Structure 1
Amino acid sequence: MVMMFSVSSGFLHAVRGKDNKDYIVRVMASGGEGHNHLRLVRRLSSAFPDNTLSNTHILPMVLEVQFQDITFGFFPKAQYSLIDAVTTRENTVEDVVHMILQALEAVVYIHGKDIAHRDLFFGNFVIDLDPGSMEGRCWMRPRIYMIDFETAVEFPPDTPLENRFCNDFPIPAHAAHLYRRPKPDELTHEPLLYCPFRLDIWQFGYDLVKYFSTTAVPELDSLWPRLMATNPQERPTAQKVLDELGAFVRRTPPDQLHVPFTNF
């Protein structure tokens, strides 16, 4: 058994396999529920050659186990979440910028597959190591993975753009009153009708503003607020943000980013 694992849900458990590797076991489907989640994870974990591309960034399900009406999925155990990375004194601005670039690649990838996540906060990105460059420059770049597609929606490729909308909360309707996630303006009005892809951008932008907008690098800090624009149509696409952040990194000397956060 893995000795250290913070259990955040009864759906998750950590195990050590016969191959001496650590895995997270998750209930994927049970009692007729969760099959959309299972289908999406199957697709994203197994679609060749997509699952071999460097910009995929989906934590793959490596094994399924069926017990009666319960389907368990086994995933490689990642050590930290993106929230951990942006709430420690040990990481530099440069460390986190490269993580954000990878996270944006993941968003671009799923949006390109007509999939919207609908819970795209930092807690749903995990990393395999924390570089901690403030403790001594680390030349390793941790790999970022996107997880938890239980709230995701997928549209058929031939769906017109004007029809790619949702009219429900990201969680089941019977539990909508329990939805405690931060909400953009479009989730506060009845009847609900919103673009889930624009919702993804708002959610990701919310945590960027919350955790990564006081770096003392003005050009970097100014990139994030428009992701939370009240008008969804004014929010940039993930590809546009990725291009702009990539351009910023290319023209900025690394030493200028080898600095701690000013919000600690």
Structure 2
Amino acid sequence: MPDPILMRQGSLGVMIATALAALSFAMLRRGSHAHSVREKLPPDLQSWRALDGEEGIDAITWGNLRELFKARGYTFWSPRRDSLMVLPTDTDIASNGFGYAPLLRGMDERSPLSNLYSFSYPHPSCQAAQAADGRSVVIRVLAIGKVGRRHIDILKIAGRGPYSLVTWNHTIPLLDLIDFEDITFGVFPKVGDTLVAAYDGWAENSLGDVLDMILQCLEALGFVHGMRIAHQDAFKDNFLVQWQPESLKARAYPVSRPRVYLNDFETAVMFGQDVPIEDCVCTGLPHGASFPGPEKYRRPIPPEVESGKPYNPFKLDVWQFATSLQDFKSNIPEVDNTLELLRNPDPLLRVSAYEAMATIANVVAMIPPYALAVPPIVLSDV
């Protein structure tokens, strides 16, 4: 049995080390050194997001912050090329609970395990790092000055606090908020993969694997919608998965299932609980603090958004999600019809995320597991 005195001493040591790191970080934030570092950083969110326009400038920019974050207990991953970062070879790693790799493909440099040692950022305002206890995290610039505060407010409600402990909540957890001068950084767990890899790629997932992920995505949207939060960028690349189960390669029914997380709430909007649901509307294209103007918006747009009139952003979420799955087919009429309904051009005909989840879940529950141990159908002409 562990000695309780030694355990308390160990805990005290961790507390002291954490306090010293925080004190060191605070000292670095003050004075001329902090101002000198701040002058080397982008002035606003749009400038930070646009860093990938020049080779290596993103790594140089984050390099100015390396010592500041090291004092806080975070070791930056090393830039490799373009948008790729890798775990430094001399850095320890421990499970963070959000990324795993089945042993189906081994543990060499070409296996899915190696994906947990690399990070290809979606935009330059993200930086992979290793926490002091070995957990892999992603640090993101959330706000500069007053711009981006809505993003933080939403994450504080959905990604922290009591709601973050609810099983239905798939919002990626907000582990830490760090202020430096006028910049606020958010720290998130590094999650294994994206839903994009679930089919039509390297992963040999069964239809059952993919349907489980789709159900979790609908549950994720249904929960935040219940909190009066609309994501407004709910395409499949913003859903992260702990691992790809590859039941077809394993040739076995999976005992455990990967959890899906909803990521990137920059375009999200939040309404008060006292606002009537019919008054929860938006106009114009979804936008975020770091997004360029509407002329460079590259996502698909449903008719109600193009009209310029007020629209229901919750119906936009389900349309975006189902539209990103238009190349997927289950060959189960009730499932395919429900997904088709979610991307109907008429928002009045779209059901809610929870209704779609309940319909598909009831259908899947009636199908023997072995009948779902088949490849999903990928439509190549969409």
Percent identity (aligned): 35
User: How many angstroms apart in 2 are the aligned matches of 1:121 and 1:73?
Assistant: 22
Q: Secondary structure at the match of 1:60?
A: coil
| Shift of residue 121, structure 1, vs aligned partner | 0.4
Partner of 2:180: 67
**Is 1:140 matched with 2:253?**
no
TM-score, length of structure 2 as denominator length: 0.65
| Shift of residue 176, structure 1, vs aligned partner | 1.1
Partner of 2:195: 82
Match of 1:237 among 336, 352, 373: 352
5 Å matches for 1:206-217? 206-210=323-327, 212-213=328-329, 215-217=330-332
Q: Secondary structure at the match of 1:259?
A: coil
User: How many angstroms apart in 2 are the aligned matches of 1:165 and 1:220?
Assistant: 28
User: How many angstroms apart in 1 are the aligned matches of 2:354 and 2:332?
Assistant: 22
Partner of 2:61: none
**Is 1:177 matched with 2:292?**
no
5 Å matches for 1:62-141? 62-88=175-201, 89-136=203-250, 137=252, 138-141=254-257
5 Å matches for 1:194-233? 194-210=311-327, 212-213=328-329, 215-233=330-348
| Shift of residue 53, structure 1, vs aligned partner | 1.6
- One-letter amino acid of the counterpart of residue 336, structure 2: D
**Is 1:247 matched with 2:247?**
no
- Asked if structure 1 preserves the Cα contact closer than 8 Å seen for 2:283 and 2:305, the reply is no
Q: Secondary structure at the match of 2:153?
A: helix
- Asked if structure 1 preserves the Cα contact closer than 8 Å seen for 2:172 and 2:262, the reply is yes
User: How many angstroms apart in 2 are the aligned matches of 1:162 and 1:71?
Assistant: 34
Q: Secondary structure at the match of 1:223?
A: helix
User: How many angstroms apart in 2 are the aligned matches of 1:208 and 1:39?
Assistant: 30
User: How many angstroms apart in 2 are the aligned matches of 1:169 and 1:225?
Assistant: 23
Q: Secondary structure at the match of 2:124?
A: coil
| Shift of residue 188, structure 1, vs aligned partner | 1.6
- Asked if structure 1 preserves the Cα contact closer than 8 Å seen for 2:334 and 2:360, the reply is no
Task: String of CA shifts for 1:181-221, please: whole Å, max 9, x gaps.
Answer: 001011222x33211011111111102223x22x3333432
Q: Secondary structure at the match of 1:66?
A: strand
Give the greater-gyration-radius structure (CA): 2
- Asked if structure 1 preserves the Cα contact closer than 8 Å seen for 2:230 and 2:270, the reply is yes
| Structure 1 portions without partners, runs of 5+ | none
TM-score, length of structure 1 as denominator length: 0.93
| Structure 2 portions without partners, runs of 5+ | 1-76, 78-86, 88-116
Q: Secondary structure at the match of 1:5?
A: strand
5 Å matches for 1:46-61? 46-48=160-162, 50-61=163-174
Query: Kindly tell me: are residues 180 and 18 of structure 1, through their superposed partners in 2, closer, same or farther at Cα, counting changes over 3 Å?
Result: same
